[in-house]
Structure 1
Amino acid sequence: MSPNDTRLHGRTALVTGSTGGLGVTIAHTLARAGARVVVSGRRRDRGDEVVTGIRAAGGDATFVVADLGAGGDAVRRLADQATAAAGGHLDVLVNNAATLLMPKPTADVTDRELQDVFGVNVFAPFLVTGAIAPAMAARGGGAIVNVGSNTGLRGSAGSAVYSGTKAVLHSFTQSWADEYGPAGVRVNAVAPGPIATERAVEFADHVAPMLARVPSRRMSTPDEVAASVLFLASDDAANVHGVVLSVDGGWAAV
């Protein structure tokens, strides 16, 4: 990406779950493209660190603390606080926050794990979008990018819960595209495969057989996934609606 990228110049963006992992890279990528980025997450120290890094690179960012697993009012409060922090409106929403669950047999998943993963991965993006998309529609434009997963495209033994939440998010993407598209709001998703983050080492044994079969024979980098998010958020994708874009080295294709 060019250091002179201005695709989001003058626009505002909220990236949920942007105090760690892929979310940090997405926040930096959108900021480098000119967006004023609202960073959000549970830990203020990490949020302040991300904001400091964006500003040091010449970007514009602010932080809003949010626990998306806390339920309805807390999630809706994030939407209100992020809108205020962005200057009164949001042009881009990236539903990135997610709770991972290590692969395990369905019968071994606890009630709490089921509630936690669905709470962050399904309920939170539904509520955030419901709180932000109508204002985008009223202004006649906006872009929403959901961060799904290649596991939401195909079933995988031991991954029913996490895969199921991502399949729901992909379905949300298509339904919201139909709901908000006529008012000028584009809704799309990226579906990454394994991403080479620090946490990826926890899943190394699980993903090795997968990587052996995909055309690229490697994980995606956070920058590659973030570049796809930027594409969908920008006018480069001006007539792209309801797409679930695989960024997985060809895993979904083969």
Structure 2
Amino acid sequence: MSEFEPALCTVTFRSLPPEKIVDLARNAGLAAIEWAGDAHVSPGDTLVARIVGLLSARAELTTSYGSYVAPPTDDLMEFGRALESAIALGASNIRIWPGTRRRDSKDYSAGERRDAAEAIRDMGAEAARHRVTVSLEYHPQSLTDTTDSASRLIDAIAHDNVYLYWQPRPGLELGEALAEVARIGQHVSHVHVFAWDRDRNRFPLASAADYWRTVLSALAATRWTGRRFAMLEFVANDAPAAFIEDAETLKQILLE
């Protein structure tokens, strides 16, 4: 059995209220939810975070906090607001974006990369004080938009409380995906799961089941020691019915 457990990122359903998302996740038999900081649990809004955390706990769903803090553009004070929400939510992990959003890693100078690494290291240290881990989004137009850049960044951060997420760039071939996770897999905490082509058209996860089965199996070795989640992110037509189908596919992949 895979060490990954099935989960959901709430950016998948931006327009739905938290109660509906919790019901969907519970009915789909998922283990966790990553709550979006730009849709459902705003940074610093600890009242909403506590309410959403209680809803999740009642449904026996573990929580993670998907923030949009982007160091060094966002500083430690901004991170603190997001961390407050993560703590109120009961989340043991907070996701942040490495570098200025929508900026390619190739456009950074050595000094800018150093500033980003230092800022993230400080955030990792602050989160550790509250027993919250920090994970970096792995995404186009960020400092993790290539495997080389992500690897150099996590090495420069060099903090045992900072990890990487992983997800394929849309349309990434299986061989390239396996090469990526072989290089950075030791740092990977969680993954975002979806089935897209290069043009970002969305398909049922069943169409990519073999792809994900192979990649998740290759991601076994890591310094991460907590529970690990494979988080569904976006489904065809943003449809709850498509999500239920994808959740069943994901659970089957993880059981195999």
TM over 0.5: no
Q: TM-score, normalised by structure 2?
A: 0.38
Higher relative contact order (CA 8 A, sep 6+): 2
Q: TM-score, normalised by structure 1?
A: 0.38
